[in-house]
Structure 1
Amino acid sequence: MIRTLSLAAVIASMFSFPGASPAVDFAKHAQQAIPIKTVTSKKNRNSALLLKRRVKKLAGPYAALVRHAAKNAHISPVLVAAVVYVENGGNFQGSATRVSSAGAIGVMQLEPVTAWDVLRVNPWQAPSNIEGGARFLSMLIQRFDGNRRLALMAYNAGPTLIANGGRPAMAVRYANEVLQLTREVSL
């Protein structure tokens, strides 16, 4: 005769002690908190420091805002910093109020309609511009199923054009430049 056990019964038996019913013993142990000590290795500390330096190199005076916005948007801070760098040509002076020939505004060069209507941010304020830009980039990465190259092309040329198969040379160059910076930032 074959006897089958439920997963709960197997787990309960793993935590049972002689003389106690498995269900009671399991319930008692399942409610206990297990202390976990966080250990940071030297390698992890060095990696965090290198990441911070890469973001600083790419985002200049906006590095702290970029790290915060990227964390909130659940995307790479180096990717956001690389977008900031490319959008400003590495020149951060006056970038908070810079307006492109196409009308894009601020550090992350947000289109006014995207900033106000889609992201609900003030593109003239650097913190909200960066927060909105990071969120928009995150939305595009999701829309293009994790394909950062397509998301970056959409950030530059517009999501509808890219979704419909358009690949303007300018957007391809933009995506390549941003992705190259994420790989090769010298410290």
Structure 2
Amino acid sequence: MKEENIKRCKWVDLNSEIYIDYHDNEWGVPTYDDKELFEMLILEGFQAGLSWITILKKREAFRKAFDDFDVITVSKYDENKIDELLNNKDIVRNKNKINAAINNAKIFIKIQNEFGSFKDYIWGFTNGKIIKNIDDNMPTHNELSDTISKDLKQRGMKYVGTIIIYSYLQSIGIINDHEKNCFRY
């Protein structure tokens, strides 16, 4: 949908089909599927210190390397699997982030068991409501991301700082930060 008359958020690189597709079809769309919620949580953690386009370009390789983000499988990764991931040139090879993904999978499962689903946990912070952008000055965090980040850290998750969590909330549609002139607003 790269039509010239379509207005999109300023951050979208109009020369990148992958970015346009992500913006138009995923970013800010409410996500309720635990598998998708887990995938985005892991990808947001891997994005720390990098650009989102880097992660988008490697997304299919991440899916393959991380067993299609099956949370139970990821939670059981051992040293052999960690070595395999560290040698996979198609993903971000950062041992701390890989270990965090495994750790976070275990905690994700605990949250599912406690709340019935991760969806019920994460959407419970807003009582199922979407927070809509009221101006085009997109913050990097807010009170909601601060609260969720603190809770996830207390549960033992890693790479879930408030800025990462704010981006996560945008990506899964809890926060709709599309600019007012964007067709997705």
TM-score, length-normalised on structure 2? 0.30
Q: Specify which structure has the higher proportion of helix.
A: 1
Point out the structure with max Rg over C-alpha. Answer: 1
TM-score, length-normalised on structure 1? 0.29
Larger relative contact order (CA 8 Å, sep ≥ 6): 2
